[in-house]
Structure 1
Amino acid sequence: MNMSTLTGRTALVTGGSRGIGAAIALRLAREGADVAITYVNGEAAAREVTAKIEAAGQRGFAIRADAADAGDAAGAVERAADDLGRLDILVNNAGIGVLGPIGDLALSDIDRVLAVNVRSVFLASQAAAGRLADGGRIISVGTALTRYAGGTGSSLYAMSKAALIGMTKPLARELADRRITVNVVHPGAVDTDMNPADGPFAEPQKAANALTRFGAPDEVASLVAYLAGEDAAFITGSELVVDGGHAA
């Protein structure tokens, strides 16, 4: 891929201070985009990511925003568009996972997961619909568990991520007259701090994948960067899976 495919573009990556979000932010920057990220905790990590964005020759800044807060979810989009001067790409990456048997999940768990994984994505996308330049991109990060459940205990998390599919398809039609594409990417087991490839639950996940390994954050980021570029202008309303063959 041409490493300057996003020259002149601007992007907001929610939850971009670590893991998949950080990899996406840095990949977009390496391909020429100015990138804002959001974070809740870990200001030092957020600063490290923005420093790497700037080292790639692009503008980068971090916005402290709690995706569970309705005002922050939409406000981050407005601030990114204002500070960057325009907005071309929104990556809805921020999310949380609360796992456990359905009988053990408290109402507070349900409310927070739905606030972060569903409401914040809707509100950010709603705000972006009014700020994105024509030909812009909305890309949401879902989960391969919406395609094939690998085990018990993921009912709440999978439900919240499945909601992104329901938003993506009609929104793709709604924004199509402005050439704005809307897609959702479903990662499988990816090596991050939250789910390390050498962690206590790693081996069953590896065994469930056709490739029998974890993915790397950069492997998800490469797909997001492709969807953000001009080569993907005819892809919209789609679910794209990057899961090592988990659902094969």
Structure 2
Amino acid sequence: MPELVAEIAGQYPDADARLIEHAYMFAAYWHRGQARRSGDPYISHPVEVSVTLARSGCDVPLVCAGLLHDVIEDTDCPIDLLRAEFGEEITALVQGLLTLHKSGSLDTAERRVLILKLADRLHNMQTIRFVSPAKQQHKSRETLEILVPLADRLGLDTIRTQLESLALATLYPERFTVHSGLARSLRISRRVLAISTVLLPTAARARWLEEWTAELHALPDRRTRARFTLQLLGGMTRLAVVVRRTNTGP
């Protein structure tokens, strides 16, 4: 059993620790022979997801679901066996994530399923260099537009910060260096602009926000970025009117 699993299991009472260890052994068995694009054994992914969940203070069923979250989708494990081994609660969390992957709708998902989704995406972003450039761009934009605001709404500040930094570094490698002062300044400006885009038509928000983010990264210092942000905010209402007129035509 990996040291990381022993570490997180040690945070919980004995019975819970044994359940976490059992979830690891179960997942390792069903993912045996599988590998990530990086070449690492596939089980390394659910382990990292569960570590993120444990370090975020999540309950034992959710930590176990982190270890088990891909066994139904990516192996031949019968769902009835998963339910027999781990009960309805953990199985429902795994099924909830699978349903979320298929539907793409965040509105009806349980809070813990959303947290599982964020932990899953975090490790995928940490290893994103192993997928195609097109997929890197797509996943990074999706992370900034959907999952970073979700993490913010759920109060998961550490996960939110990591997701945002990884996505920005992927989209703007020549402009973005993950230093705390720069990252914090960019994050604040971008969050303010993201909130203000509510005035724009939904279909236009992502395009404008991406363009403004690129411009923010090109600016030399915090004061210039703050001035740029204030100028955009001052003209947001006027821009919204123009964009809506353009979209609706004469």
TM over 0.5: no
TM-score normalised to structure 2 length = 0.32
Rg larger for = 2
Greater relative CO, 1 or 2 (CA 8 Å, sep 6+): 1
Structure whose residues are more often helix by fraction: 2
